[in-house]
């Protein structure tokens, strides 16, 4: 497999763009080699600028549940573009998509659209602070909620609960109100509440997708709900990744725990940049211009993004049964790879939620970020590189989730498993 054109393109990009990429994980730093520059996507396939073709298990990191260039979404976008790219004024499409999103979630009565998941989470936290009149927030190590200052935190020294900035450029004053807890560990959350009486919200990925796929235990989420209720704290489910991927009706329909605020993105834009946050009317009424909590965006509710989202969610509603098919394919994929790994003496932990799948080269089940960090990163890098050469495109980090699309066929799944059998044998035989 030649990647000469991608190598040359990456060299040029590095001279003009920091690291040669516009989002760090794309640089292939954790798996080695040169990132592939993509020429086009079609269905379940990606083709790079060298002409290599891959079965795509990334699907733009989640949005493309119907695969690349889905006809109905593509036509909706083309039609919208013919009427204008942006107006900076209300359109009926915003209301139509809002009505559709709300129809799927019991916890959402009103919703506001923004342009990214980062913006959705940042705005949801501001809303929670405005609603409660409190400053502190609780997040979980390993959960990623975008790159806003208050959320770029790492654990403090010793047993400290309050986080320190994890990136230069983030003042300590911006993270001093962020408390850190351990995922799936309710005692660590209780410690946060013991350390602060000023907690506005607890934010969590109920189905974490940014430390690999690590779902929260049902019992943990139920206890988290009780804690929040007892302290007058809002519970935010960040479903930017898992929304309409793990379940058509949100994580609340799987876990039995109802959040106060939900953040969304990815699938609701059908591949276009979009984010959203929603809650019951009482909370959303605090938002400007109805209330005092300010949030705005020139491209929020962009008509092209709304058209793509409407097409995607309408198709998903009309084909809701496909979620079970996607989950079955995802489970077949990871179970097949797990069996292939076991035959070569390699232990693999696997999980599936809807059309999301994850795997770790780890001797023990993964329940939190510390567990994920004990996975074999070197083995993952070898696996990733060799699978690329076999024509299968997986996420270029062991801390990312994989995705199945409706364009991913049973035959593709079987081909992937067979390729993994070959790859594992090559790895173990040196």
Q: Any idea which residues carry the catalytic annotation?
A: 144, 238, 266
Cα gap 181→370, rounded to integer Å:
12
Is 427:382 a contact under the CB 8 Å cutoff? yes
Cα gap 92→89, rounded to integer Å:
10
Cα gap 127→242, rounded to integer Å:
22
Cα gap 61→50, rounded to integer Å:
22
Cα gap 248→324, rounded to integer Å:
10
Is the previous residue joined to 425 through a cis bond, with omega within 30 degrees of 0? no
Cα gap 399→394, rounded to integer Å:
12
- For the chain, the straight-line distance linking the first and the last C-alpha, in angstroms and rounded, comes to 20
Cα gap 402→163, rounded to integer Å:
29
Compute CA distances 178 → 160, 230, 311, whole Å: 11, 20, 38
- Give helix then strand counts, H and E, for the chain: 14, 18
């Amino acid at each position: 497999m030649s990647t000469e054109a991608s190598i040359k393109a990456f060299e040029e990009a590095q001279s003009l763009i920091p690291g040669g990429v516009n989002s760090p994980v794309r640089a292939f730093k954790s798996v080695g080699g040169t990132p592939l520059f993509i020429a086009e996507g079609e269905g379940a396939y990606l083709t790079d600028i060298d002409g290599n073709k891959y079965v795509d298990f990334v699907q733009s990191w989640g949005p493309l549940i119907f695969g690349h260039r889905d006809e109905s979404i593509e036509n909706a976008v083309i039609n919208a573009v013919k009427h204008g790219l942006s107006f900076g004024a209300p359109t009926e499409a915003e209301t139509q998509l809002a009505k559709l999103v709300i129809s799927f979630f019991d916890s959402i009565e009103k919703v506001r659209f923004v342009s990214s998941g980062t913006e959705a989470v940042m705005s949801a936290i501001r809303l929670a602070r405005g609603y409660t009149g409190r400053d502190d927030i609780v997040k979980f190590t390993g959960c990623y909620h975008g790159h806003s200052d208050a959320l770029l935190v790492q654990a403090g020294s010793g047993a400290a609960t309050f986080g320190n900035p994890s990136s230069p450029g983030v003042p300590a004053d911006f993270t001093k109100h962020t408390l850190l807890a351990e995922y799936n560990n309710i005692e660590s959350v209780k410690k946060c509440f013991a350390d602060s009486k000023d907690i506005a919200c607890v934010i969590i990925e109920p189905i974490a997708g940014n430390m690999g796929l690590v779902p929260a235990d049902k019992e943990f989420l139920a206890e988290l709900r009780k804690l929040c209720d007892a302290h007058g704290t809002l519970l935010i489910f960040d479903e930017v990744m898992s929304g309409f991927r793990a379940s058509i009706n949100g994580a609340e329909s799987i876990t039995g725990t109802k959040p106060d605020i939900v953040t969304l993105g990815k699938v609701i834009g059908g591949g276009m940049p979009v984010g959203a946050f929603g809650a019951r009317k009482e909370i959303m009424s605090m938002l400007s211009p109805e209330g005092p909590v300010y949030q705005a965006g020139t491209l929020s509710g962009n008509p092209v993004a709304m058209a793509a989202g409407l097409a995607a969610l309408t198709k998903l509603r009309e084909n809701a049964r496909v979620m079970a098919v996607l989950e079955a394919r995802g489970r077949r994929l990871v179970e097949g790879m797990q069996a292939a790994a076991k035959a070569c003496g390699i232990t693999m932990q696997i999980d599936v939620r809807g059309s999301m799948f994850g795997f770790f080269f780890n001797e023990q089940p993964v329940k939190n970020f510390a567990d994920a960090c004990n996975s074999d990163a070197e083995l993952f890098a070898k696996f990733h590189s060799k699978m690329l050469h076999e024509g299968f495109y997986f996420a270029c980090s062991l801390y990312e989730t994989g995705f199945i699309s409706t364009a991913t066929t049973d035959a593709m799944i079987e081909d992937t498993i067979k390729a993994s059998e070959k790859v594992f044998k090559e790895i173990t035989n040196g």
